[in-house]
Structure 1
């Protein structure tokens, strides 16, 4: 740490003035019989947090509301045991011994069915916390450090035990936080201005949530009954299954949790991983992934593997337009924001006795991001998971192809198909729907199929975070006041990123409109503007923005479910018609509701390249072709009355020939060598972004990777053979 001496690490406790004590008799009346059935049965509610967090005051309110005994460890346990005030004990033994003696007392503590306010330093003594944690649920009152400092000042506490000269109280409080994070069962995020009653209500809500995992189940978008009383489907189930058995996509049965304004304000000054953790804890039930296990996953996902410490920084572009750079992850696309976390969640939820093969269809960026994310798992997890990626041979950029085919070691492989993305995606969905085939794989090889496309809920959920983070950045930087609206413009083909923005809005982020930007394939634009999803005789046209070269947009199914208030019957009918006839039309009332939330437009190839060139001439900033599509559509559809965040979904280096050709205008001056293209682009980006190191390294090492990759015809049975062959390569040796 470098903040505290060894002795200070042992004992960090506030010397504070206590309020008048509640009169407890020597017979320890706080263990008396309850008058009403307790919330947790005989288990305690253990309030944990720094000094000044309000544990004692909140505990008293909870005790009154629940009719439970209230125990303050300082007043009712330590002082009775030592027969002296805590402050006097501290003065007598000194900081080095205090924590050990405090811990010894707590190790002998026994109570049940009570509200217990721990001391601020209890979590620093591991044996004591192991002991008390067995007795109940540890609720962490997560109060902002600045609020704590102000409260301690009001209480006339001007030092913390162990605080040496030159070491601020803030540093010690920040140091302590790691111990609170270690022992919590549930977090209560306390906003500035929250009253004791507010926090007590949040504690009750958090405890009730913990007790009721059945309130956070998932349902298929094609379910006939939203409140079905059949088998419950939990987060861990949907992570592994990917696609629902009826062919629909999983969504939360009761929608997204709402985060109040004071809690959003707390998140504004936090880092991206801290924001992600707070948001995801709200969305993933602790019975599925406990908070103490989720934290290391999140911090591993968003750490040194990203080129920018901000992870997803927001930068001013021109006028009221801001660009959120979502390409600083290891594969230089926004898919990394989900796929550095999703494989960890997947591995965490894996049953011990099963192997899983992850099938992925990609239009370019998802493939390399999936391969990167799953390759970062531990050896033991990789032994039980294989990844097989299908991509269109002629439908991705050369750099995207090199990124995918570079993965040749371990249980990961990319196979190209002489068709388009829609064929690849359709084939995978068909595999999931054929029970005979999936049953055969399960019996013969002990292997279950899953997917990491945005049809998988664990792929979509982390994307909610970066939309929330963009708004918080604008607020933190003074561009907007909290509550002011913003628009978000997203280049989209499969609608997953757009859907995650709508979910962020549902959580309370003040997004006014989600603007969907299509290239010349414009399936999403046509659907939003006309209500018609028409694939009849419609060819997929390759473009300079291949990641959105998609016709059958999977996440439109979630969007229709969302705007129809969960009408699974309607979703089932519409998509059954699409499968039969390659066409459906949304009812007029539904179309009007869609257009209230989403705007959509499309961009020609010429306009896309012109936008790359004009933005660079105006600002020196280099955009990739997908960001350029969003820029063109934002210029056309956004009214300028509020800021608009343009999602920059990929680094320009991944599409170097098109971007460099646009900037130089004369194609003959574009060098054939891809590394030289990147070097020249880097020299042109006077105001950023910098060249992506991983992309450059991939190309510089390409000579050692130019082995022939597997290329399949557009034949479903051939793809099935690739699946079985991959399973044999991955798991037969294990079997």
Structure 2
């Protein structure tokens, strides 16, 4: 353990005061020789300082000395070399002399005198609480936050016989003040390094250097299209690199493919995942996303700010995506506590803020959405959360199959319309809406006209947009960590996940979580009677010939063409964009494609699939309610039926509960065999509520229906040209022409 290593040096400490909460290692010549060789400071960061920040006991001094040794540069300990030199007394004496508030002020003033370049600097634990001094430090430094679990810090400080730190007052525990300080570390850091339990100081130093290297080189994390020639022809090699911000803003790649990280997603160690045990959902989201989004696109402090904004007040459950035991070894991942009652909220409360940050200030943006029900209201609600200045240059239009969504879903969408958002019913199915949007993106004459005439660029908020898909990885990882916290499984034991899916985005996010180190064994795909995806997973043949979309009780998965499947095939084909292009071109022109045998074998190592009939769906809802008092929505019921068939019971299965049953009240009333079904959505929800079900009727949905039962909306024919007319009409009403 790291703190055990520190204990070996207790006798070497030259002071044991509150301010010196870390140990002074005496570096021998033999230690210096054993240090791993790294590049010079000059080549890594130029004349900038590497500034280590974190709570007392985090290891700033020890790690800082090792980093300095590896880079062959000067090490500055703020406690020793700045504060005590300035005050001519120990930090402990100063704190006792002036008290907490004045100490923080004078500590900040002393740090303003620091003038260094090309050095490694170890801050005191309380330095980040002074804004002026931190602004001074950041001007010529890259600030690295050594993030150590609070329990570990407390253990280390007890080992050092430290029971009080700067800023602590009577009645405030050590744990409280450590938690309070986290906001300052998050505010000022450029780079965060997770220091998992048991990690050695030299390993932390290497992590610091790797993190600095990543921070300095944004080209390490470029994006490519699933249809790009991975090795590239001459023309492709000359194409400008694409980054996270480009993938967010453009939505769809120029060649019709989907954006993916060229080098894949980062992998967390087991220790790093375990570091997140006991963390809130917000903290887990911040940690996962900052490793997947380069700080050149999103500074860490800004990313943390918007994650807290997205998941702060808009969810009915403080745990955001809790896991509930259903029966046996089946668990429900409740993804319906957001404002619109579906799993789409987990991404779409965050994605608009990512989008608004990434777009250039000189353009207007029109977001196009195709929805089979839940995405529409989630997108409209999410973009309504933007600040007013952003809403003045971002508009949203959502196309949904007019007869292919539930009445409640329709009322949600039309009720979410504002000056910059619009929902339009299309006299067709979801596949037409999705294909039409892809055609519009590919129409360079039309997109060029919008840019020239209105200064408006088109983008997408469906899961074809990387910023929609990426946040979904978080809740699959979080669900696994919750089972570990609840002592259901030890960390490292596998789980299966079963997900109702049509567009393959949610299940792909689970595959990504597995790639990042979450021990997911199998991802089980659950379909309704629109089961082309299930057949493909079983046989490798994607066959749309003669298939027509069938409306079902689970409309969000009434999809025949699964967009995100393209990303998965690109993954298992080792980035073979040529193969992906051939497969999807054949699917488009011949309405079928066949996966070669070796790739089907790789696919089936990750995936299993089956489908559920309408009768079995209703029976599952009825059966679960009778035995547990819990109401499944129709999509979750589909997954429950498939999980019952396919799980082998040797490990837990986490079933993604992707929507709240309130959105599908008529089907639920039918399944529960509750007398006469009332005619209005509002009365249906009141009837369900009278049964005191678990979970309760969705409060936000109930309030929405009270306001919006009689609102009107527009419909249009299934004609791409008509859709383009609606898009231009909203642009005309929202954005001024460019002259």
What TM-score range do you get, normalising by the shorter chain?
A: over 0.9
2:690 match: secondary structure = helix
Shift of 1:702: 2.9
Tell me the residue number matched to 1:513. 522
2:570 match: secondary structure = helix
Tell me the residue number matched to 2:4. none
Alignment of 1:175 with 2:180, yes or no, is yes
Aligned 1:331-410 pairs, distance under 5 A: 331-410=340-419
Of 558, 574, 588, which residue of structure 2 is paired with 1:549?
558
Shift of 1:21: 7.3
Of 254, 259, 263, which residue of structure 2 is paired with 1:254?
263
Tell me the residue number matched to 2:707. 701
Whether the 8 Å CA contact 1:386–1:730 is kept in 2: the answer is: yes
Shift of 1:700: 1.8
Tell me the residue number matched to 1:416. 425
Shift of 1:64: 1.1
Alignment of 1:635 with 2:644, yes or no, is yes
Q: Which segment is superposed worse, 647-656 or 576-585?
A: 576-585
What is the distance in 2 between the residues matched to 1:413 and 1:350? 21
Of 274, 286, 306, which residue of structure 2 is paired with 1:265?
274
Aligned CA distance change for structure 1 residues 429 and 35 (closer, same or farther; 3 Å): closer
Shift of 1:183: 0.6
Q: Which segment is superposed worse, 100-109 or 332-341?
A: 100-109
What is the distance in 2 between the residues matched to 1:17 and 1:377? 43
What is the distance in 2 between the residues matched to 1:142 and 1:599? 38
Tell me the residue number matched to 1:468. 477
Aligned CA distance change for structure 1 residues 332 and 67 (closer, same or farther; 3 Å): same
Whether the 8 Å CA contact 1:494–1:556 is kept in 2: the answer is: yes
1:480 match: secondary structure = coil
What is the distance in 2 between the residues matched to 1:304 and 1:97? 35
Alignment of 1:84 with 2:73, yes or no, is no
Cα distance per residue 1:296-354 (max 9 Å; x no partner): 11011112210001100100001100001100000000000000000000000110110
What is the distance in 2 between the residues matched to 1:575 and 1:91? 71
Shift of 1:38: 4.4
Whether the 8 Å CA contact 2:20–2:79 is kept in 1: the answer is: no
Tell me the residue number matched to 1:139. 144
Q: Which segment is superposed worse, 477-486 or 101-110?
A: 101-110
Whether the 8 Å CA contact 1:48–1:139 is kept in 2: the answer is: yes
Cα distance per residue 1:372-426 (max 9 Å; x no partner): 0001101100000110000001000000000111133210000011000000100
1:701 match: secondary structure = helix
Shift of 1:454: 0.4
1:194 match: secondary structure = coil
Whether the 8 Å CA contact 1:627–1:650 is kept in 2: the answer is: yes
What is the distance in 1 between the residues matched to 2:126 and 2:674? 65
What is the distance in 2 between the residues matched to 1:454 and 1:413? 19
What TM-score does the superposition give when structure 2 sets the normalisation length?
A: 0.94
Aligned CA distance change for structure 1 residues 422 and 89 (closer, same or farther; 3 Å): same
Whether the 8 Å CA contact 2:54–2:60 is kept in 1: the answer is: yes
Alignment of 1:683 with 2:687, yes or no, is no
Tell me the residue number matched to 2:60. 55
Aligned CA distance change for structure 1 residues 16 and 237 (closer, same or farther; 3 Å): closer
Alignment of 1:567 with 2:576, yes or no, is yes
Tell me the residue number matched to 1:210. 215
Whether the 8 Å CA contact 2:19–2:79 is kept in 1: the answer is: no
Tell me the residue number matched to 2:590. 581
Tell me the residue number matched to 1:499. 508
Q: Which segment is superposed worse, 215-224 or 198-207?
A: 198-207
Shift of 1:510: 0.4
Whether the 8 Å CA contact 1:333–1:651 is kept in 2: the answer is: yes
What is the distance in 1 between the residues matched to 2:269 and 2:25? 33
Unaligned runs of 5+ in 2: 1-16, 29-38
Aligned 1:709-728 pairs, distance under 5 A: 709-728=713-732
Alignment of 1:612 with 2:621, yes or no, is yes
What is the distance in 2 between the residues matched to 1:455 and 1:272? 24
What is the distance in 1 between the residues matched to 2:231 and 2:112? 47
Of 452, 457, 460, which residue of structure 1 is paired with 2:461?
452
Shift of 1:79: 2.0
Whether the 8 Å CA contact 1:15–1:159 is kept in 2: the answer is: no
Tell me the residue number matched to 1:191. 196
Cα distance per residue 1:172-203 (max 9 Å; x no partner): 11111111111101111111112111211111
What is the distance in 1 between the residues matched to 2:631 and 2:368? 34
What is the distance in 1 between the residues matched to 2:525 and 2:23? 57
Q: Which segment is superposed worse, 474-483 or 125-134?
A: 125-134
Q: Which segment is superposed worse, 566-575 or 675-684?
A: 675-684
What is the distance in 2 between the residues matched to 1:226 and 1:374? 38
What TM-score does the superposition give when structure 1 sets the normalisation length?
A: 0.94
Q: Which segment is superposed worse, 688-697 or 652-661?
A: 688-697
Q: Which segment is superposed worse, 580-589 or 468-477?
A: 580-589
What is the distance in 1 between the residues matched to 2:427 and 2:472? 31
Tell me the residue number matched to 2:104. 99
Shift of 1:22: 7.9
CA RMSD of aligned residues (A): 1.7
Q: Which segment is superposed worse, 163-172 or 217-226?
A: 163-172
Tell me the residue number matched to 1:670. 677
Alignment of 1:438 with 2:447, yes or no, is yes
Aligned 1:291-306 pairs, distance under 5 A: 291-306=300-315
What is the distance in 2 between the residues matched to 1:328 and 1:97? 45
Of 255, 267, 277, which residue of structure 1 is paired with 2:286?
277
What is the distance in 2 between the residues matched to 1:36 and 1:306? 46
Aligned CA distance change for structure 1 residues 14 and 664 (closer, same or farther; 3 Å): farther
1:269 match: secondary structure = coil
Shift of 1:694: 1.3
Shift of 1:104: 1.5
What is the distance in 2 between the residues matched to 1:123 and 1:695? 42
What is the distance in 2 between the residues matched to 1:302 and 1:647? 19
What is the distance in 2 between the residues matched to 1:586 and 1:560? 9
Aligned CA distance change for structure 1 residues 527 and 617 (closer, same or farther; 3 Å): same
What is the distance in 1 between the residues matched to 2:571 and 2:287? 24
What is the distance in 1 between the residues matched to 2:354 and 2:23? 44
Aligned CA distance change for structure 1 residues 13 and 50 (closer, same or farther; 3 Å): farther
What is the distance in 2 between the residues matched to 1:81 and 1:307? 51
What is the distance in 1 between the residues matched to 2:97 and 2:695? 59
Cα distance per residue 1:658-697 (max 9 Å; x no partner): 011110165xx222232221122223354x1111111111
Shift of 1:643: 0.2
1:141 match: secondary structure = strand
Shift of 1:20: 6.7
Number of equivalent positions: 709
